[in-house]
């Protein structure tokens, strides 16, 4: 069965990967791998300054996109 994140799930409040909770628990300078089959998010990364990034798979390469914690609340 496909897994979807809190950003792309087709069903309100029903998702397999809660990006907000992952981002809250993530320590500075660390990342965690995820596998969202809906929007191709592959990682959540928090840099040393506490800035958040979502890693998306594009053309067989992971590209980091900056995101604010507030944007991950569903």
Across 10-19, 26-35, 52-61, 63-72, least confident range: 10-19
pLDDT at 31: 97
- List strand residue ranges (DSSP E) for the chain, in order: 30-33, 41-46, 52-58, 61-67
More confident residue, 48 or 8: 48
At residue 11 the predicted structure's pLDDT band, cuts being 50, 70 and 90, is: confident
Residues 7 and 9: their CA atoms lie apart, in Å, by 6
User: Tens digit of pLDDT for each residue in 18-56?
Assistant: 999 999 999 999 999 999 998 999 999 999 999 999 999
**Whole-structure pTM value:** 0.89
């Amino acid at each position: 069965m496909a897994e979807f994140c809190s950003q792309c799930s087709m069903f309100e409040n029903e998702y397999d990967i809660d990006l907000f909770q992952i981002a809250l628990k993530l320590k500075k300078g660390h990342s965690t791998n995820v596998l969202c089959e809906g929007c191709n998010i592959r990682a959540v990364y928090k840099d040393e300054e506490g800035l958040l990034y979502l890693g998306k798979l594009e053309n067989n390469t992971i590209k980091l996109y900056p995101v604010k914690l507030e944007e991950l609340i569903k």
